[in-house]
Structure 1
């Protein structure tokens, strides 16, 4: 039953990607790249063929995806119907039964299609037109409306993994929250201390944090068990999503009280030390929220301190997800720089307001020098911030040599997918095949999978010495290269992507 429900969800997600073409004959690798470039140039004005090209393109990974926002909205509505939830007819907030006055059973959407459409519009950006409510406010309000319908994380992970595999991704990174209630209780019991060392000491004392870490690891166990069941992993006909390595990034709610924010950060760092499935932390919730603005520098200093204490957790930060009018002008002058320099961010999510940062040119040069990747979410930034096309700093980052990759942010709410983000980038910015190939490689190069990468240096797509001189992605790598691939999940995923690039270039080389 779970698998059949999942199939219906996935059918919605991939309905636009059913076209096929016959493979082209293989040519030499160098010739193939130039021929793919020529093919791309020939289809730029043909939406169907361009979509097919982008869908088939090996795309590394979507390294900026929130689990709760990544599932198709009608899939969430299906969960609400199955769980017997109620939906407020004015606010469209889902809640547990019994239904009260002013609410309707979610299952009414099965027979009242207009009601179902209203729910989907309230829970997503589908059909949204800015008016009395901005895209920013509508987007962030959606999470609170469908929250009760997002309880089945394992099934959500299954839908996410299946879609990623179908779109030719080779690893999974997903942001989610864990044990928020328990960590909040602990933080409030401990209280705030401006000395992060003392505050961490208090949080770790008495074993309460250790118990929360244990519970979060058990959450992962349960979710992955449900996910694997939904994908039929280990059985004949298993979904290809079963084969993708999956890693979690713990969400830290930046609008919470300082002691709660710090406790969530500590949980993320502790989890990364204890469990290789957890690889990092990220701050979530509106960056322009008054509390988030007030505590921004404090949050960065907390992360900087924890970076010096722990060795394993990575840091990727929503920073610069701002535009004029959303926040005081002063806040548009330092958020990205503070995230890079004080918060020790290895990746920046969005980075939309970089042009307004103090010393913007110097910051861009610093990010390029430090290899700080920017996670570019074109659809999200256009819908939420109304920063689109030439107003977006995508081209500025690339011109400055800052590594970038394309991401979805919240594909379900935004009604997009990673292939659509590549189509949008190719169409809007005239990208060449070499550009999109580099961005797809960058996703894994800067991804948080453990191990050495396939490349000799960051953003230098020359093979590491062990794998030099052999066809990348080939079936019979030399012994030293084989040892690297076996020891490193990251190198293994990158090798698989290179094999897919070879097949892709054979198919589209003219």
Structure 2
């Protein structure tokens, strides 16, 4: 009897899976549990839009803060290794003695991530403000975070992560160059690109005299290469590369200094995968200096033509900024800065001459990094309001990414679930193409590494699709 039951179960299994992966996907379009099981097992290639600090989940960060007895600001829920002079701070051991630790643990989880988000603060503030609150727990603990991300990636069949790991430390004194801030902004206000480029060339010469190169070399050798090697990050199951990045809210001289160092670093290390620019795009300084930042990238490209860069552009929506500010950020990221990829691109429908811009992206193979969960939470843009279909219909190369999976309490699997459920016209073969895009359009410098990842994808898809074939 036991044998009969076993044979019956095998027969049922064979009947259930006597189909292709594509036909099975179409059957489960509206069932999130079945979609999750499907995409959890499907090979997912790479995650190209990925912030390291925002991708580590809050739980281990909080555990570290408690174990190392950090001080907690009882009002903002930021933490500090030492007690700041101002503010209402108390260390975790004291909170535990008073029986208040559990209460604050819950509050912290809801502040350092979107866990149990209730709308009490604007979603964009909730997201962007969280970084500085938990940042002290990251310092000195990159290794733990990298291993966490690797383990999670392997578990959900992600082969590659291209993460923005850390800014490059630099204590260079540029106070004597502060006049460039005024001069650059004056020229930028007139959109005088020729003058801006001349000022940047002069500024670059001054930075070279201050040994900008040594900061890049120190970062590459004593931090990045050492950490990557010691942790044995790359193996037969997983690969990681690193984007250098700069912060939009800095003054022009400081930002350009960091940008030059980032480009030097990327030009001299195969572990780096290009350069990026981060921080809220709608911030006051970000908006004021946006065009200037794009010209800075154009200048650096002229000096380091082999370095690739992806730019956060168009992470904006109606209501967040004035309508006219929605019309030019992606345009300038592509036509002025010369970006190799675009991150977010949510305001595409509002961009001036958006059809021509989309055609240009398609013709020049400039991919868009789509972050569905992120765009939904931060910008409240999803489904038919999201420009995903615009990019798809104009044949712009698409890659699917997480952005900040830790803060957003998400993962790569969920991004594909959202994609399949919200856009039923995207079939399995198209989704599979997006997966391959995430390797083909990566900034991996070593072509042999990229070829091996493609080979691994071929083998993994062969194994995955065999589950749905007739036996």
- Give the structure with higher Rg (CA): 2
Q: CA deviation at 1:243?
A: 4.5
Aligned mate of 1:435, from 430, 439, 450:
430
Structure 1 position 83, deviation (Å): 2.4
1:450 aligned onto 2:410: no
Instruction: State which of 90, 97, 103 in structure 2 corresponds to 1:104.
Output: 90
Contact kept in structure 1, 2:83 and 2:89, CA below 8 Å: no
Q: In the alignment, what sits opposite 1:324?
A: 318
Note the C-alpha offset of 1:211: 2.0
Corresponding residue number in structure 2 for 1:53: 38
SS at match of 1:375: strand
| Conserved? CA contact 1:255–1:289, under 8 Å | yes
Equivalent residue, structure 2, for 1:202? 206
1:213 matched to 2:202? The reply is no
Q: 1:113 matched to which residue of 2? A: 102
- Report the equivalent of 2:267: 273
Question: Counterpart of 1:245?
Answer: 239
Q: Which residue in 1 is equivalent to 2:123?
A: 135
Kindly indicate whether the alpha-carbon contact (under 8 Å) linking 1:320 and 1:332 is maintained by their aligned counterparts in 2. Answer: yes
Matches within 5 A, 1:24-39: 35-39=20-24
Number of the residue aligned with 2:145: 156
Deviations 1:27-76 (A, max 9, x none): xxxx99x7111111222233322211111111111100100000011111
1:261 deviates by 1.3
Q: Which of 133, 141, 150 in structure 2 is aligned with 1:145? A: 133
Residue 215 of structure 1 and its aligned partner are, at CA, apart by 2.2
Q: Determine if the alignment matches structure 1 residue 507 to structure 2 residue 463.
A: no
TM-score scaled by structure 2? Answer: 0.87
Matches within 5 A, 1:371-382: 371-382=365-376
Question: Which residue of structure 1 aligns with residue 349 of structure 2?
Answer: 355
Tell me which stretches of 4 or more aligned residues in structure 1 moved more than 4 Å. Answer: 21-25, 98-101, 107-111, 240-243
Equivalents in 2 of 1:346, 1:214: separation in Å? Answer: 24
What TM-score does the superposition give when structure 1 sets the normalisation length?
Answer: 0.80
Q: 1:54 to 1:328 in 2, by over 3 A?
A: same
The SS at the match of 2:40 is helix
- Cα shift at 1:225: 5.2
Give the Cα separation in 2 of the matches to 1:419 and 1:106: 35
Q: CA deviation at 1:263?
A: 1.2
Q: Verify the 8 A CA contact 2:242 2:274 in the aligned structure 1.
A: yes
Measured in 2, the distance between the counterparts of 1:268 and 1:304 equals 14
| Offset, 1:433 | 1.1
Following the alignment from structure 1 to structure 2, what is the Cα–Cα distance between the partners of residues 316 and 342?
13
Q: Which residue is 1:465 aligned to?
A: none
SS in 1 for 2:72: strand
* 3-state DSSP of counterpart to 1:63: strand
Q: How far apart in 2 are the matches of 1:294 and 1:405?
A: 29
Q: Deviations over 1:95-152 (max 9, x none)?
A: 1134887333346579733321110101111111224x21001110001111111111
Give the Å deviation of 1:356. 0.4
- Aligned equivalents of 1:368 and 1:264: distance in 2? 31
Distance 1:95 1:388, change over 3 A: same
- C-alpha distance 118-508 of structure 1, shift in aligned 2 (>3 A): farther
Task: Write the deviation string for residues 347-405 of structure 1: whole angstroms up to 9, x where unpaired.
Answer: 11100000001101111111111111111011111100011111100111101101111
Calculate the aligned-residue CA RMSD, in Å: 2.5
Tell me, in whole angstroms, the C-alpha distance in 1 between the residues paired with 2:208 and 2:36.
Answer: 50
Deviation at 1:23, TM superposition (A): 13
Could you tell me how far apart the structure 2 residues matched to 1:106 and 1:242 are? 41
2:20–2:469 Cα contact (<8 Å) kept? yes
**C-alpha deviation, 1:327, in angstroms:** 1.7
Aligned mate of 1:492, from 423, 429, 452? 452
Corresponding position of 1:71? 56
Work out whether 1:401 is the aligned partner of 2:401.
no
What SS does structure 2 have at the residue aligned with 1:38?
Answer: helix
Contact between 2:42 and 2:461, CA under 8 Å: does it hold in 1? Answer: yes
Matched length: 435
How far has the Cα of 1:341 moved from its partner?
A: 1.0
With over 3 angstroms needed to count, the CA separation of the structure-2 counterparts of 1:22 and 1:376, relative to structure 1, is farther
In 2, Cα distance between equivalents of 1:267 and 1:166 = 35
Distance 1:342 1:23, change over 3 A: farther
Aligned position for 1:177:
166
> Residues 76 and 294 (structure 1 numbering): CA distance in 2 closer, same or farther, change over 3 Å?
same
Contact 1:158 1:241 in 2 (8 A): no
Partner of 1:483: none
Q: CA deviation at 1:168?
A: 1.4
C-alpha contact 1:178 1:216 (8 A) present in aligned 2: no
Shift of 1:439: 0.7
Distance 1:113 1:222, change over 3 A: farther
- Counterparts of 1:109 and 1:404, CA distance in 2: 48
Please, which runs of 5 or more residues in structure 2 have no aligned partner? Answer: 1-9, 185-195
Q: Aligned partners of 1:188 and 1:163: how far apart in 2?
A: 44
